Structure 1
Amino acid sequence: MTSELWLVRHGETAWSRTGKHTSTTDLPLTAEGEAVAKGLADRLARQEFDLVLTSPRLRARRTAELAGFPDAEVTDDLVEWDYGAYEGITTPQIRETVPGWTVWTHPSPGGETAAEVGERLDRVVARARSGGRTLVFGHGHALRVLTARWLGLPVSAGSHFRLDTSTVSVLGWERETPVMLRWNA
């Protein structure tokens, strides 16, 4: 088992800063988000990647570009969990009408199910496990699901993996067991 999967969550947007659920809304990075994303370039330049993928959303593509990967392959499999009717609102706002709501335990009306998100991120896992080192630029919930699926866990296990903006995480192997090598760095 020689494959590694490197994860980069996009830089800060106005909505990520305020906790608004952002999936299909194509927001730019804030000035701070751009500055921090540029800082990723030095860290990532020391690595060689066999495959570089990005979500098609502007915030992920821009982070990839600023981090030194303007030619990353765009794949819809890396888009953020579709929150449906909950797009652009915060968890506390949702909980005013749905007590205890989380994306991990409750549906998002008009959005994706956990099974649908897991299915598309399983395709990313399959590509990454084909060998070599893969780098992906994506989104908070989707990358947490990707991590759960890499580890052989259900989608809901992603709830245990906090992931901040502009961070680098690395998934790999210990012998034949998939593991986290670095998280939220």
Structure 2
Amino acid sequence: MPLTEEGRRQAEALGPELKRWKFALVLTSPLQRAAETCRLAGYGAHAKPRPELVEWDYGRYEGMTSKQITQIRPGWSLWRDGGPGGEKAADVGRRVDRVITEVRAAEGDVLIFAHGHVLRVLAARWLGEPPETGRHYLLQTAALCVLGYEHADPVIRRWNQPATA
């Protein structure tokens, strides 16, 4: 599914904000919306697609809204239950752990373009928390987040900030 006009505007606004950094590595989900965001922000030529960054697989619930799912399965939570035939939080956690290993091995800053749920899991795993902790990290589209270190401790430096351009 392509970006909306607003999504394209948000992606383009990321470019000037991101130019403040020098990135040793740029990673992107190979899925259309993340890859298009990466391209519109000016990093498409430098990005390495990583299948580990694709969005959470909802299985048989793919394409349904949370409201539609809870109508057929009251009390359902993606973070607790996953999707039938799809992924559970632990599955997504294992995927992003591989990305985190690559990021920590990079010599310099790393830029990642991916999808909301997977980025929320990535933030949780960066901090050493269980994947389900990502449910507490609200994340809007085209938001800037910066993960890093305070001394040797993984930290969140910025979270869910819109581009200022």
TM-score by length of 2: 0.94
How far the C-alpha of 1:113 sits from its partner, in A, is: 2.0
- Residue of structure 2 in register with 1:54 after alignment: 28
Amino acid at match of 1:34: R
- Among 56, 72, 83, the residue aligned to 2:58: 83
Q: In angstroms, what is the RMSD of aligned CA positions?
A: 0.8
Per the alignment, in what secondary structure is the counterpart of residue 73 of structure 1?
A: strand
Per the alignment, in what secondary structure is the counterpart of residue 105 of structure 1?
A: helix
- Deviating 4+ runs (over 3 angstroms): none
Name which structure has the greater RCO, CA cutoff 8 Å, separation 6+. Answer: 1
More helix by share: 2
Matched, 1:154 2:123: no
Task: Give me the whole-angstrom Cα distance separating, in 1, the residues matched to 2:29 and 2:82.
Answer: 23
- Residue of structure 1 in register with 2:14 after alignment: 40
Structure 1 segment 14-25 matched on structure 2, within 5 A? none
Task: Give me the whole-angstrom Cα distance separating, in 1, the residues matched to 2:19 and 2:108.
Answer: 16
Per the alignment, in what secondary structure is the counterpart of residue 129 of structure 1?
A: helix
How far the C-alpha of 1:100 sits from its partner, in A, is: 1.6
- Residue of structure 2 in register with 1:109 after alignment: 84
Per the alignment, in what secondary structure is the counterpart of residue 59 of structure 1?
A: helix
Amino acid at match of 1:47: W
How far the C-alpha of 1:145 sits from its partner, in A, is: 0.4
Q: Is the 8 A contact 1:144 1:158 kept in 2?
A: yes
Task: Give me the whole-angstrom Cα distance separating, in 1, the residues matched to 2:158 and 2:38.
Answer: 19
Task: Give me the whole-angstrom Cα distance separating, in 2, the residues matched to 1:154 and 1:182.
Answer: 20
**Unaligned segments of structure 1, at least 5 residues:** 1-26
Q: Is the 8 A contact 2:79 2:88 kept in 1?
A: no
- Residue of structure 1 in register with 2:37 after alignment: 63
Task: Give me the whole-angstrom Cα distance separating, in 2, the residues matched to 1:171 and 1:87.
Answer: 29
Task: Give me the whole-angstrom Cα distance separating, in 2, the residues matched to 1:107 and 1:76.
Answer: 19
Q: How many residues get paired?
A: 159
- Residue of structure 2 in register with 1:184 after alignment: 160
Task: Give me the whole-angstrom Cα distance separating, in 2, the residues matched to 1:162 and 1:102.
Answer: 15
- Residue of structure 1 in register with 2:119 after alignment: 143
Per the alignment, in what secondary structure is the counterpart of residue 23 of structure 2?
A: coil
- Among 124, 146, 160, the residue aligned to 2:99: 124
How much identity, in percent, do the aligned residues show?
52
Moved more, 164-173 or 126-135: 126-135
